[in-house]
Structure 1
Amino acid sequence: MSLWGRYLVRNVFVGFGAAAALLIPLFTTFDLISELDNVSAGGYRWTQAVAVVLMTLPRRLIDLGPFIALLGGIVGLGQLAVSQELTALRAAGVSIVRIALAAVTAGVLLTASLAALDEWVASPLQQRGLQMRNAAITSSDEAVNAKGTLWARRGNEIARIDSVAAHNRPMGIEIFHYNPDNTLVSYIHADNASVSQDGSWTLNQVNFKQWSNGEETVRELDSLQWTSIFSSIHLKELTLPSDSFSIKQLSRYIHFLKATDQPVDQYSIALWQKFGRPILTLAMILLAVPFTFVQQRDPGMGSRLAVGAVVGLLTYVGNQIIVNLGLLFALNPLLTTLLPPLFILGAALMLVYRFDRNA
């Protein structure tokens, strides 16, 4: 890369830093306010809420990546425009397309860094924070099923877990066996279960009901061995939101859901969003180029940042609406998550080409 290219990339990264320094504290404050709503006496403490917010900070940075790219690009390139350095580059024969390519280089470095942060830092930290919060809320006397219900299916067998306690211990297990004609054959309820290293389960305090020829048989058992439907995946992962999963975890979980005949759209969308976000980030950086070179009567940075913030916010909200509509109407996850970023990227490329032709 040329000397001016490295200089431009460095200035764009300075803009990224300035945008992150502005947005991260703002959204972190909102997250903290939301967490404090869950604080209760004898359960979830405010110190734990602060710790959870700090653990989810990398995830917030990743989610704001496209927004940071747009505002950071406007700041980085805008400072060069104010100091007339971009004018000097244009006078030296450097085209707008080449300047945009240098900005995209900074974007590629940013997206690669965020992708690595997502896979190996943000996901484990967020999951640890959420598990800590769930454990604290569950320990409170006011907690009611804080972790949610888990379902799975294997052939004619359907299982439900009320919650997952500490040390991966399932609580409130129900198991239903059906005939091919959907008549109930047996029903098992267990207060809890012990999970061994090989994945087998020992159900404890079991109520076992069976139906045969119109007669019901009821047995009370201290324990019962069961080949678990859930044995192929760690139970703690099932209690976490899809946005906290890494690519590896999402792939494994989608395989598990398909194997147990459960819907996969929510997690397929979460998986493809991880590939769509880098595309959207690059598109946002390219959109910063027209903001820099557009002829305005007021060359100040404030107006550009204000318009950029509105564009970034509308893009974020619009993308979320499309994703939720895709989930609601069971649209193709690949198209739902990748088509909007690709459209914005195409529009940004056209704008850069147009400005270069008219320059």
Structure 2
Amino acid sequence: MNIFGRYLLRNIFIGFAAAAGLLIPLFTTFNLINELDDVSPAGYHWTQAVLVVLMTLPRTLIDLGPFIALLGGIVGLGIMSKNLELTAIRTVGYSIFRIAMVMLCAGVLLTAALGALDEWGASGLQQRALQLKNTAMAKDPDNTSTSNMLWARRDNQFVTVKTLDAQHQPVGVEIFTYNPDLSLDTYIFAKSATIQGDGSWLLRGVNQKKWANRKETVSTMATMTWRSIFTNMSLEELTMPGDSFSIRQLNRYIHYLENTGQPNNEFRIALWQKLGRPLLTLAMILLAIPFTFSAPRAPGMGSRLAVGVIVGLLTYISYQIVVNLGLLLSLNVPLTTLLPPAIILAIALALVYRFDKQH
């Protein structure tokens, strides 16, 4: 890459920094407002909410990657166009196509950096933030949430856990065992449990019901040992949403779900979305070319940025609609997650080719 390419690359990354500096504070404020809705005097404090928002900043940056690519490209090229630097670069033989290839290199570097941040930084921080929030909310006696945070199944046995305590031990364990005819054979409720070194659980405060010959037998025990069906992953990981996992964790979780006969489409989509996001980011950065060369003598970038924000939002919303429809209708996961970004990338390349021929 010659001096013109390096100069162009530097200005594009300046545009990325400007776009990130604009978007991250805005979306961080929105995240903080959402967290403050869960704050309570006896549980989740506002200082913890601020800490959770700060710990999820890398995840916010990754999610905003396509927006940063589009707006950063518009800003970087727009400044050069306004200062007539793009005109000077083109007079020495730099075509629009070559400019697009430099932008594509910038996009590859951006996606590689965001991918590394996702795998080795953002996922772990987001999970620790969620664990901090869940632990704080579990301490609130006024927390009336009735939804169980963890379910699992193996063969004819179903298990649900209400929550985890500060030591990440199960609280509120229910175990359902069914007969082949789907009638309930055994029901066990335990107030709490301790995970043993061999993987078994020591249940405490146990109430057990059994049904045989249409008769119900009820027994109460102080403790009871149960062979856990939760394997391969820690309970803290199993309670996390799919978008907080790294690629390694997603692969391990999908394998766990397959072994226990549970649906895994949600997590397969989360895995393939990590591959679709780089394609979407590359497509968005190439879409900055039409915004720049459609009106090269425009005095300001306000209107271009406004249109860029609209295009980015519409693209993001459309992509999420397609992904959720794929999950709802159980469509092919790679096709659902990769086809929309691939189509947008093809459209962006076609527009670059068209502007290169016209100019």
**Which of the five TM-score ranges fits, normalised by the shorter chain?**
over 0.9
Give secondary structure in 2 for the equivalent of 1:62: helix
Q: Please list the CA deviations of residues 198-249 of structure 1 after superposition, one character each: whole Å capped at 9, or x if unmatched.
A: 3221111212222223333322222121111113211111222211111111
Corresponding position: 1:197 with 2:191: no
CA contact (8 A) 2:81 2:296 kept: no
Alignment-derived partner of residue 181 in structure 1:
181
CA contact (8 A) 1:134 1:146 kept: no
Alignment-derived partner of residue 229 in structure 1:
229
Describe the shift of the 1:327–1:29 C-alpha distance in structure 2 as closer, same or farther (beyond 3 A).
same
CA contact (8 A) 2:232 2:252 kept: no
Q: Please list the CA deviations of residues 97-154 of structure 1 after superposition, one character each: whole Å capped at 9, or x if unmatched.
A: 1110001111111100000111111111111111111111111122134873321111
Alignment-derived partner of residue 303 in structure 1:
303
CA contact (8 A) 2:135 2:164 kept: no
Describe the shift of the 1:180–1:219 C-alpha distance in structure 2 as closer, same or farther (beyond 3 A).
same
Q: State the distance in 2 between where 1:51 and 1:178 align.
A: 44
**Structure 1 residue 318: deviation in Å?**
1.3
Question: Within 5 A, what are the aligned runs for 1:207-222?
Answer: 207-222=207-222
Counterpart of 2:154 in structure 1: which amino acid?
Answer: R
Alignment-derived partner of residue 334 in structure 2:
334
Q: State the distance in 2 between where 1:312 and 1:140 align.
A: 40
Name whichever of 236-245 and 67-76 sits farther off. 236-245
Corresponding position: 1:267 with 2:267: yes
Query: How does the TM-score come out when normalised to structure 2?
Result: 0.96
Alignment-derived partner of residue 241 in structure 1:
241
Give secondary structure in 2 for the equivalent of 1:166: coil
Q: State the distance in 2 between where 1:168 and 1:346 align.
A: 47
Q: Please list the CA deviations of residues 305-347 of structure 1 after superposition, one character each: whole Å capped at 9, or x if unmatched.
A: 1111111111111111211222222222212211111110000
Give secondary structure in 2 for the equivalent of 1:71: helix
Alignment-derived partner of residue 347 in structure 2:
347
Q: State the distance in 2 between where 1:149 and 1:114 align.
A: 30
Counterpart of 2:311 in structure 1: which amino acid?
Answer: V
Alignment-derived partner of residue 157 in structure 1:
157
Give secondary structure in 1 for the equivalent of 2:159: strand
Counterpart of 2:187 in structure 1: which amino acid?
Answer: Y
Alignment-derived partner of residue 69 in structure 2:
69
* Aligned sequence identity (%): 61
Counterpart of 2:224 in structure 1: which amino acid?
Answer: L
CA contact (8 A) 1:273 1:338 kept: yes
Alignment-derived partner of residue 47 in structure 2:
47
Q: State the distance in 1 between where 2:93 and 2:355 align.
A: 15
Alignment-derived partner of residue 131 in structure 1:
131
CA contact (8 A) 1:145 1:162 kept: no
Question: Which consecutive residues of structure 1, in runs of 5 or more, have no partner in the other structure?
Answer: none
Give secondary structure in 2 for the equivalent of 1:167: coil
Describe the shift of the 1:173–1:345 C-alpha distance in structure 2 as closer, same or farther (beyond 3 A).
same
Alignment-derived partner of residue 100 in structure 2:
100
Computed over aligned residues only, the root mean square deviation of the Cα atoms, in angstroms, reads 1.5
Give secondary structure in 2 for the equivalent of 1:140: coil
Q: State the distance in 2 between where 1:123 and 1:355 align.
A: 40
**Structure 1 residue 257: deviation in Å?**
1.3
Counterpart of 1:314 in structure 2: which amino acid?
Answer: L
Q: State the distance in 1 between where 2:197 and 2:334 align.
A: 37
CA contact (8 A) 2:138 2:163 kept: no
Alignment-derived partner of residue 258 in structure 1:
258
Q: State the distance in 2 between where 1:59 and 1:120 align.
A: 12
Alignment-derived partner of residue 357 in structure 2:
357
Give secondary structure in 2 for the equivalent of 1:173: strand
Alignment-derived partner of residue 11 in structure 2:
11
Alignment-derived partner of residue 21 in structure 1:
21
Q: How many residue pairs end up in the alignment? A: 359
Alignment-derived partner of residue 319 in structure 1:
319
Counterpart of 2:335 in structure 1: which amino acid?
Answer: L
Alignment-derived partner of residue 141 in structure 1:
141
**Structure 1 residue 299: deviation in Å?**
4.0
Name whichever of 175-184 and 113-122 sits farther off. 175-184
Question: Which consecutive residues of structure 2, in runs of 5 or more, have no partner in the other structure?
Answer: none
Describe the shift of the 1:323–1:120 C-alpha distance in structure 2 as closer, same or farther (beyond 3 A).
same
CA contact (8 A) 2:82 2:297 kept: no
Give secondary structure in 2 for the equivalent of 1:168: coil
CA contact (8 A) 1:199 1:232 kept: no
CA contact (8 A) 1:137 1:146 kept: no
